[in-house]
Copies of this chain bind each other. A is one copy, B any other.
Amino acid sequence: MTETNQLVNYFLSHRKVTNELIHKISEKHYDYKPTETSMATDKLVIHMLNTFYGFAKTIKTGNPALIFKPAENIPEDLYDAATMLTEITAELLSEVTAEDLARSLDLSKIFGSEITGQQLFQMGMDHEINHKGQLFVYVREMGHIELPMYVSQG
């Protein structure tokens, strides 16, 4: 129980910051990209949200086929999407047991080897933090100069 609360707390310590950044993105900037070959803002945000959701589903169910299955009925508004996906992802993580974390998942087609639920969770965190780092630059380029710390201490 304590261990899975730690998962949720760690997840939210970064996701809250992601959501603060998303909150600053106005609709006119949804298709913003820093360069021609960059991912557009809306695609980047939805990719981040769906990735952690899929990872959490796979950790909880043990089913590797769910890893890239996006959530259904995602709102068009990016902040609404973030709110919804954060809620259902945190709920999944709150139900994760020590057994789920220790379970070996056959993700060799994607990652080249079997990994445990715990390892997949850490990969989800690293993925979120990497893209959040990019999003910081995007949002600053949109004209915002008051940005949060990269991790929430609250």
Contacts and interface: CB of A to CB of B under 8 A. Distances in A.
A129 interface: yes
A34 B145 contact: no
Nearest to A13: B126
Identify whether the interface residues of A are mostly helix, strand, loop, or mixed.
Answer: helix
Contacts of A125: 126
Contact of A111 (B34, B132, B153): B153
9 contacts: A14-B126, A34-B34, A37-B140, A38-B140, A130-B130, A130-B136, A133-B134, A133-B136, A134-B137
7 closest residue pairs by CB, A with B: A133-B133, A137-B137, A130-B133, A129-B129, A130-B150, A133-B134, A37-B145
